[in-house]
Structure 1
Amino acid sequence: MSASITVVLVDDDALVRTGLRLILGGAPDIDVVGEAGDGRAGVDLVTELAPDVVLMDIRMPRLDGLAATAELLAREAPPKVIVLTTFDTDDMVVEALRIGANGFLLKSTHPERLVESVRAVAAGEPRLSPSVTQQLIAQVAGAPRPDQGGTEQRREHALARLDSLTDREREVALAIGQGWSNAQIAARLYMGVPTVKAHVSRVLDKLGAGNRTQIALLVHDAGLTGETPTDPT
C-alpha cells in the first residue's frame, strides 16, 4: 500500500477542525496528523510534522492565514496549501491565490469534494472548484472586472502575457481558468492526459506562473473567464 497523505488543519474554530478531521479521517488514504488554532502555531506545527497538505483558514489570531501561507510557501520544500474560506473573506482569497496557494475550498464544501480536493492537491494538481472559483474571483476580489472599467492596465498586461502562448496552449490556459482538471481538458480538447500535462508545464513556464491558480487569475485579469475553451484543430 502507498503511504497516506498527511494533513495538518489550521483553523481557529475548534468545531471546524473537528468536522474536517471527521471528514478526512473517513478516507483510508488520508491521515490528519495535527491541528492548530492560529497561524503562528500552524506554521510551527508544519515545521515539526512536515505534512503533505495544509488546510489553512484565512482569518485567525496571532498570524492570519494569508501571512502563514506566504511564510510556508517561501520555504525550500513547501507543503501544498489549500485555503479555507467563506464568502466574507473578500480580496484575501484572491491574494492567497496570487501568493501561490494550491487552491481553496469553501468551508461548506461537500465532504466528498473535500476529500477529492486533498487527494488532487497532494498529487500536484491544485484544485479550483469550477462552480465556485470564478464566482469568488469575480465577485469578491474587491475590484471591478475588466469589462466594468478601472482595470484596463492589468487587462492589457495579462493579454500580452497570454499572447506568448500558442493556440493550443491558450486553450489549455482558458481551460485551467475554468477550473478544469487535466482529465477534463484531455476529454474536451481531444488530447491524452500526458499531452495535457506537457502543455500545462509549458504554459506555466511561458507565463512565469508558480501553479495553476496563478494561471486562472491571469485569465481572469485578461477578462477571459467567460470564454469557453474549444478544440482549435
Structure 2
Amino acid sequence: MSESPVRVAVLAVVRLYRDSLCSFLAETDGVELVAAMTATDDAIDAVGLAQPDVILLDVPSEVRVQSIRRVLDAIAAVRIVAVGVPEREEAVLDLARAGATGYVSDQASQRDLVLAVRAAAKDELYCSPRIAAALLRRACDLPNGARRERAPALTDSLTAREDEVLELIRSGLSNQQIARRLQIALPTVKNHVHSILHKLHARNRTEALVRAVDRGPMPESLAPRWD
C-alpha cells in the first residue's frame, strides 16, 4: 500500500516565487498542494482550514521567527519548513527555537526542497552535513554551566530509556537508526519520541534537538559511531 501524499501549503510574500513553487509542487510525486497564499494573518487562518501536514513559509528574514510563531499560534499541529534560510548554525537554531520543523537553505535545489518537506512530515530534520556537524559540535562542546536554567528540570523527568533516545536524536539519528542502535522495535522508538516531546514541551524533534543541545556534552557511549 502506498503512503498518503504529504499535504503542503505555501505561504510566501512574493507572488512570482509563490506561483513557481506551487507549479513545481503540483507536479511532484508524493506531494499534494492544498493551499497557497501570502503570509498574512487572514491567510494563515484560511490555510489552516486546508489542514496541511507541512507549511512552506517564505518571508523576509527579519520577520521569519515572528511569522513562524504566528502560524503555530493559529495552527498548532502543523509542521513548518522555512524557505530561503542561510546555511548558518545560529539561523537554524533560531528557527528551531521558534518551533519550525525544518528549513530549506537559500542555496538549496528542488530535490532538497522535496526531501525537507518529506522529512518534516515525519518530524525529522533534513539538513546539510555541514549544519549537522556544526550542531553536533556545539552539543559536544557546550560546558555544563552553559545549559539553560530550565533544561535540568525538563530533562530530569525523562526515563532512562527516553534519555538514551533523546541523546541519539541529538546525534542526528532517525527513528529507524535509533531502533537499530538500541535493538528495539520501531513503534517503541516512536512511542519514546512522543513521550519525550510531551515531557519537554517540544512541538517536534527539531525543538527537542535544541533542548538536547542546551543540556551540555553528550555521553561518549552515545556519541555517533562512524565505523
TM-score range for the pair, normalised by the shorter chain length: 0.7 to 0.9
Q: Which residue of 1 aligns with 2:95?
A: 96
| Equivalent residue letter for 2:211 | L
**How much does 1:104 deviate?**
2.2
1:59 is the counterpart of 2:60: yes
Aligned equivalents of 2:221, 2:180: Cα separation in 1: 14
1:201 is the counterpart of 2:183: no
| 5+ long unaligned stretches in structure 1 | 140-144
**Aligned partners of 2:83 and 2:103 also within 8 Å:** yes
Pairwise CA RMSD of aligned residues? 3.8
Q: Which residue of 2 aligns with 1:142?
A: none
Over residues 148-198 of structure 1, what are the superposed CA-to-partner deviations in whole Å (9 max), with x where a residue is unaligned?
789935356435543433332222101212332211211222221011012
Q: Which residue of 2 aligns with 1:106?
A: 105
Aligned equivalents of 1:136, 1:93: Cα separation in 2: 10
Q: Runs of 4 or more off by more than 6 Å in structure 1?
A: 146-151
The 5-angstrom pairing of residues 128-139 of structure 1 reads: 128-129=126-127, 131-134=129-132
**How much does 1:110 deviate?**
4.4
**Aligned partners of 2:56 and 2:83 also within 8 Å:** yes
**How much does 1:47 deviate?**
4.2
Cα pair distance change 1:216/1:228, threshold 3 Å: farther
Aligned equivalents of 1:3, 1:201: Cα separation in 2: 21
Cα pair distance change 1:33/1:156, threshold 3 Å: closer
Aligned equivalents of 2:37, 2:200: Cα separation in 1: 35
TM-score normalized by the length of structure 2: 0.74
Q: Which residue of 2 aligns with 1:121?
A: 120
Cα pair distance change 1:206/1:151, threshold 3 Å: same
**Aligned partners of 1:6 and 1:51 also within 8 Å:** yes
Aligned equivalents of 2:65, 2:200: Cα separation in 1: 23
**Aligned partners of 2:142 and 2:214 also within 8 Å:** no
Give the fraction of aligned pairs with identical amino acids, expressed as a percent.
29
Q: Identify which of 176, 180, 183 aligns with 2:173.
A: 180
Q: How many residues get paired?
A: 223
TM-score normalized by the length of structure 1: 0.72
Cα pair distance change 1:45/1:226, threshold 3 Å: farther
**Aligned partners of 2:119 and 2:126 also within 8 Å:** no
What SS does the aligned partner of 2:82 have? Answer: strand
| 5+ long unaligned stretches in structure 2 | none
**How much does 1:219 deviate?**
1.4
Over residues 70-105 of structure 1, what are the superposed CA-to-partner deviations in whole Å (9 max), with x where a residue is unaligned?
122123654321122432777454233123222223
Aligned equivalents of 1:137, 1:59: Cα separation in 2: 24
